[in-house]
Chain A
Amino acid sequence: MSTGTQVAAETAAEQVTRRGRRRKPPLSEGAKQERRLGWLLCAPAVIVMLAVTAYPVVYAVWLSLQRYNLELPNEVKFIGFANYGAVLTSPYWWQALWVTVLITVVSVSITLVLGMLLALVMYRTIFGRGTVRTAALVPYGIVTVAAAYGWYYAWTPGQGYLSALFNNAAPLTSQYKAIAVIIVAEIWKTTPFMGLLLLAGLSLVPEDLQKAAKVDGATGWQRFWRITVPLMKPAILVALLFRTLDSFRIFDNIFILTKGNNGTQSVSILAWDNLFNALNLGIGAAISILIFICVVIIAAVYIKGFGTAAPGTDTERR
């Protein structure tokens, strides 16, 4: 115990010099050895994660301050925040942001409700529990792009069963109907994940409490709202945080279903379009940074506003 305090009191600088000397630690220095091993074991993971994210993000910030168009390689120059100005005054950005927010809010809300129902079915059903779970895992695991093609053809007039079912409807050609199809594809794909996370939360609700409430005359509805939901609140919030951030970066489904045509561009699609069709790295980078800021805001709202415990932290273990 005393070694632990000693270690904690030691400054990092001392530790560095000690490592520099490469002195062979005597056995009594088990704690120091442990600390060194801790850093050593984390090093490869940290290096890869920093190399792939931290450096490119810094580079993206730098890119976003340049006029950088691959078609005009000789006209690269520092232009400050002009790219941000161009993006933020462009109706395309606000349109894409609106579409993204709409898809996120609608799909996450419906996914939460359906995920809860799915979790209850998997928890309470009296037979076929294994079969239901296996079936539910298929949409979770399936490649989003493959599933998106399935939806695309299903809604193609003359080819698809769903289109035929609705009088040869062609929903992918009009804005809000296309968004509805995109939302359905998202919900189908992500409900199982939500359901499984909630199922894990559900199994932490003590059965005795439910029984006691039942004895006291609480209806199933009351028990759900007064016992299950409050006890599951941490699990629900973590699941919501994950789903919201995941949904906000929606790309695959839209890319296949509409390619972002007919006003269905999400912010990710908009950024991609600027990069690979307009070859404008500066604008593309500026949009990327704005998306990153949005994600940080969403996460902050969840963690500070709703008190969502960040997964992996100690408070969350309660």
Chain B
Amino acid sequence: MAAVTTTTTARTTTTKARTTTTTTRQKWGWGVTDFVVIALALIPVLWMASLSFKTPAAILDPSFLPASWTWGNYTQILSTATFIRPLINSIGIGLIATFISVVFASMAAYAIARLRFPGKSVLIGMALLIAMFPIIALVTPLFSIERALGLFNTWPGLIIPYVAFGLPLGIYTLSAFFREIPWELEKAAKVDGATPFQAFVKVIAPLAAPGMVTTSILVFLACWNEFLLAISLTSTIAARTAPASLAYLSGSSQFTVPTGPIAAAAVVITIPIIIFVLFFQRRIVAGLTSGAVKG
């Protein structure tokens, strides 16, 4: 008992000692460094936000903050189908593609993390190859194939490739998460008479939920961000996604530059990212790093 108390005191002293060795200079140094990092990360975003609040006349004034603020750009873009429809497409296509990829990826990741079967390394290699694939190499054939199949400029026409590119990300992230799960529980379930499939659905799936949420966020962000396929495989607002629609926004009249509306649209499509980052940053970081570092 006494020994324990001594150790605790000793530890407290070291902590205190360490705190006191942090000099004012170090504090200032870190303070300035942190400030610089945060400023570098946020200034370009703040600039875009500021641009979106500028009136058409003030756009031609290069000062960082608007002289007078207006919501005009937002009301303009949110009242035209040119932006609203692509926004809906983005949300719909992103959610459906994310859902399908995460379901398929979690099945494959479970098999990779847990089951013994031949062909596992082929699958991992294939996922890696696709993760690094130059998407442009697929644009030509997909453009041709989708036109032939009538998938060009439709939701499924984008959802299918997004699922394919979401899968490697999903498989890597999820198999890393699945390796951390206490699998004795699965054995226990099997001892109790559950089949491997039942063990998967009833025992492991609930434990895997946090990893699946993380993976969903990463896959959704990737779909939300995608641009090359979005401009190549769509031709009208029927399936065009929000990032692809930015270039089609026009000024409030034919003679005004579309800067304000484009900035406003850029802010609107950035908002979900900010929300995800604020709420799920721990998960996003864990997900990003688990796949790449722990393998």
Contacts and interface: CB of A to CB of B under 8 A. Distances in A.
Contacts of A131: 34, 38
Given A137-B284, A312-B172, A285 B140 contact: yes
Nearest to B54: A159
B115 A38 contact: yes
B291 A42 contact: no
Nearest to A154: B47
A163 interface: yes
B205 interface: no
B64 interface: yes
B140 A145 contact: no
Nearest to A295: B134
Interface string B161-177: 10111011001100100
A108 interface: no
A291 B137 contact: yes
B196 A161 contact: no
Contacts of A276: 232
Contacts of A46: 108, 123, 126
A188 interface: yes
Contacts of B257: 159
Interface in A28-48: 31, 33-35, 37-39, 41-42, 44-46, 48
A294 B133 CA distance: 11
Question: Interface SS of chain A: helix, strand, loop or mixed?
Answer: helix
B115 A35 contact: yes
B292 A163 contact: no
Contact of B134 (A161, A238, A291): A291
A163 B290 CA distance: 40
Given A45-B171, A285-B141, A316 B295 contact: yes
Contact of B160 (A8, A51, A256, A272): A51
A221 B27 CA distance: 20
Interface in A1-45: 4, 7-8, 12, 31, 33-35, 37-39, 41-42, 44-45
Given A38-B111, A197-B293, A60 B116 contact: no
A188 B40 CA distance: 8
- Give the interface size bracket for B toward A: 35 or more
B44 A154 contact: yes
B197 interface: yes
A42 B130 CA distance: 15
B33 A121 contact: yes
B185 interface: no
A267 B33 CA distance: 37
B137 A288 contact: yes
Contact of B30 (A63, A125, A135, A196): A125
Nearest to A120: B33
A73 B228 CA distance: 25
B292 A41 contact: no
Interface stretch (A84-92, A170-178, A210-218, A245-253): A245-253
A143 B164 contact: no
A159 B293 contact: no
A3 B259 CA distance: 67
B225 A288 contact: no
A183 B59 CA distance: 26
19 contacts: A37-B197, A41-B108, A41-B115, A45-B105, A59-B141, A121-B34, A125-B33, A143-B269, A144-B225, A144-B243, A145-B246, A150-B47, A161-B47, A193-B288, A199-B285, A271-B137, A285-B140, A288-B139, A294-B134
